Amino acid sequence: MTPSRAMVLAAGRGERLRPLTDRLPKPMVPVGGRSMIDRVLDRLADAGVQVAVVNTWHRAEAIEAHLAARTRPRIVISREETLLNTGGGTVGALPHLGADPFYIAAAKMVWRDGARPALRRLAEAWNDGTMDGLLLLQPREAALGFEHPGDFFLADDGRLLRRGSAPSAPFAFTSLQLAHPRVFADPPPGAFSLNLVWDRAIAAGRLHGLVHDGDWCNVSSPGGLALAEARSWDG
């Protein structure tokens, strides 16, 4: 299974990176001389993605102008009149994403592949019979720029459980995932988080995780940006 389509989340305001994001959309913040959104799109293109849907809201014109020259992958813009959050934004883009599993990536992070490309590993690990979502995870102690006590526990069979009331969990969610369109059936109206559909998938036993074997950095704060700039993300 080689996903040919992807959703790139690029609509957020980037409050924690202000004042930088007052003049520059967060996805266009450069890391190592190249914007985060271009780094994500380059990885998707290399993985065989032909169409990437990019949602925009904050400084939408700047992002759209920046992407206008890209031909690989082909860009489809899904501009939001009001901010729809990650779940609502993805639902709004579903007409462009087809009937097969597609990647979802937030343009607020950078990663470096391990022995094999992370996107290829996700595609090869996908099981349509048992999964509605497959999330790429980073061990919490190796998650750069991650300032929380962890997101998930990973069961022996690959299924995910929330940290819940536990003081910590061993894995951070990287904001890179595969999803089947069926997980978005009967969505609430308006803005909502992808966490809502993932909680439904957890309840059904159909949300799984895959541990990343390379480097990853969350670039959502000045500290995260500094950590990202201190490393190379090429290759």
CATH number at 55 reads 3.90.550.10
**Is the residue at 235 inside a domain?**
no
**Is the residue at 100 inside a domain?**
yes
In percent, the amount of the chain with pLDDT more than 70 equals 100
d(Cα 168, Cα 19) in Å, to the nearest integer? Answer: 31
**For 29-56, what is each residue's pLDDT tens digit?**
999 999 999 999 999 999 999 999 999 9
**Is the residue at 185 inside a domain?**
yes
- Quick one: DSSP state of residue 187? P
Tell me the mean pLDDT in the region 114-124.
97
**Is the residue at 167 inside a domain?**
yes
d(Cα 98, Cα 76) in Å, to the nearest integer? Answer: 13
Tell me the mean pLDDT in the region 71-95.
97
Mean pLDDT of the chain: 96
Q: Look at the chain and report how many structural domains it folds into.
A: 1
**Is the residue at 234 inside a domain?**
no
Own/partner long-range contacts of 114-118 (Cβ < 8 Å, ≥24 apart): 114/212, 114/213, 114/214, 115/213, 116/213, 117/43, 117/46, 117/47, 118/43, 118/176, 118/212, 118/213, 118/214
Tell me the mean pLDDT in the region 159-185.
97
**Is the residue at 36 inside a domain?**
yes
pLDDT of residue 82: 95
**For 176-220, what is each residue's pLDDT tens digit?**
999 999 999 999 999 999 999 999 999 999 999 999 999 999 999
**Is the residue at 187 inside a domain?**
yes
**For 94-117, what is each residue's pLDDT tens digit?**
999 999 999 999 999 999 999 999
pLDDT of residue 20: 82
Show the domain range for 111.
5-229
**Is the residue at 62 inside a domain?**
yes
Tell me the mean pLDDT in the region 213-232.
96
Q: pLDDT-based confidence at 18, cuts 50/70/90?
A: confident
